[in-house]
Amino acid sequence: MPITALSTDWGTFPRIVRVTTTDNLATITATGYLNTQIAAIQAINHGAFQWTPEDSCLIYYNGGDGFFNVDYTVNFTFVPQTIEPVTSAWIDNWVFTGTDLTMSPSIGYCVIGSSPTVNLTMPTICPKGTVIIVCGFSTIWRINLNAGQTIINNLLAVGTTDVLASAVTDSVTLLCVTDNTAFLTINDKGTPSYL
């Protein structure tokens, strides 16, 4: 069974490679798997695909999905990243705020109050695999990044500098994919703007 789709989210580091395959987890992580997929990859990509050591692969496979690293030099396979499934258990606590603050990893933030815009600054220390959720209830929010940080939006596939709620009920869930610096939007509701 082949890889049936392959695309790349370009932007700043890390590059996200999206792969869809009808193969199962045991098959895609077996030594030599990528060698068996050369023809399918070349057909989809209209030529050879250039893997990089920094690639983070989001793979939809028969039986599940997840993030993988790619080993394209020795074993020619995908290696599961050590990120656990995202569940509500990832959020240690909820903070209800109507004032500007610096966020912490593994915390959900519900923006309330009457302030015109509540500014939420990303934490400077955020381990890979942690989740931050921001949702609005009665006011507009803005997520501000620190120097060297980026948010990769699933839809736009670009690095961004900030995220701004367009409506008071907008929400976003961010997964840290590189310690302290890179965050992937794994869910958003409403129409938040990626600036």
**Could you give the percent of the chain with pLDDT greater than 90?**
22
CB 6 within 8 A of CB 18: yes
Burial 43-81 (b: 16+ CB within 10 A, else e): ebeeeebebeeebbbbbebeeeebbbbbbbeeebbbeeb
* pLDDT in the model for residue 87: 43
**What is residue 155's predicted lDDT score, i.e. its pLDDT?**
55
Predicted local distance difference test score (pLDDT) of residue 169: 82
- Is residue 175 scored above 80 in pLDDT? yes
The DSSP letter of residue 122 is: P
Q: For the chain, give the mean pLDDT.
A: 82
Read off the pLDDT of residues 163-174 as tens digits, 9 standing for 90 and up: 878 887 888 889
Is the pLDDT reported for residue 71 higher than 90?
no
* CATH fold group of domain 88-194: Jelly Rolls (2.60.120)
Is pLDDT at 122 greater than 60 in this prediction? yes
pLDDT at 154: 60
Domain borders along the chain are 3-80, 88-194
Q: Average pLDDT, stretch 55-81?
A: 82
Which pTM was predicted? 0.54
- pLDDT for res 115: 76
Report the range of poorest mean pLDDT among 36-40, 118-122, 142-146, 148-152: 148-152
